[in-house]
Amino acid sequence: MKKIKETLANNIDYIGGIEANYITNSTALEILSYAHPLQDEIENLMREQIDWTAPGSVHRIQPDELDGVLGCAEFEVNKGFQKLKAQTLIGLWTGLEIMIEDLFVAWMLDYPNHLNDKIFQKINIPLAEFCTLDEESRIRKLYESFIKDLSKPIGIGRFESVLKALGLSETDTEPNVSKSIYELNLLRNLFAHQGGRVDRKFKNTELGQEWEIGGIYYIHDIPFRGYCGNTIKYVETILERIENH
């Protein structure tokens, strides 16, 4: 159980860090957006205080690139940090996927008796490949095959299917949390695969009803904050289930 809790704690830190990065980056962009009147002074400071012959200096923002950087920052602020928000939503969903897989692996390592459950006995993995893997890699291969065999549930159902197989599924998830995770899944797919451009599939969802096909979905601040907060709430709910197991 200690390994399981450590695994989940690491993933909570990772997911929380995604939101923290958004806050840091959006703040930095907003500060930069005010800096155009000071561009000459900033360029002079960069030339005076940075050793441009040092290893790695080529990867830093060059003084003659500053105008473009400040312009991009101003554009992003005026657009409501849409690119940054989209990257954050993709990161949150990916963080949840990683967390559930890591939890599955840690759980099976601590409770190998679950491998005898009928739901896992039906999974076929090539024997030659299975024999070349270490114990953890075998369980990750099992997880990969298990996920492929699911009926592709959307939103929180994808994770609950895995948790149910571990004996951790409960009906204690708040409706607003379930709704947020569902919408997070939709938006992750929309931005990861369509660049935020509304397609017919998204249009047919409740979230996409008001948007025209071909238009770029706009991520508003209040729901965005809800996606961040409710992702953490869901992770905390899973941790509570483990504590009560």
Q: Which residues in the chain show pLDDT less than 50?
A: none
**Are the C-beta atoms of 140 and 109 separated by less than 8 Å?**
no
Q: How far apart are CA 236 and CA 234, in angstroms?
A: 5
93 is a domain residue: yes
Where in the sequence is the domain holding 153, given as residue range(s)?
81-244
The set of residues, in sequence order, having a beta carbon less than 8 Å from that of 150 and lying 6+ positions away, is 158, 161
Residue 182 pLDDT: 95
Q: Determine the pLDDT at residue 145.
A: 83
The CB density around residue 101, as the number of other CB atoms within 10 Å, is: 17
Please tell me the predicted confidence (pLDDT) of residue 19.
Answer: 92
Residue type, 88: T
Query: Which residues have a Cβ under 8 Å from the Cβ of 6 and sit 6 or more positions away?
Result: none
pLDDT at residue number 6: 83
Asked if residue 94 is part of any domain, the answer here is yes
Task: Answer whether residue 21 is part of any domain.
Answer: no
Q: Classify residue 25: in a domain, yes or no.
A: no
In a domain, 128, yes or no: yes
Q: Which residue from 194, 225, 221, 226 is spatially nearest to 208, judged by alpha carbons?
A: 194
Question: Does any domain span residue 7?
Answer: no
196 lies in some domain? yes
Write out the two tokens for 20: 């923290």
Q: How many structural domains comprise the chain? A: 1
Predicted local distance difference test score (pLDDT) of residue 151 = 66
74: in domain: no
Confidence (pLDDT) at 171: 64
pLDDT score for 232: 92
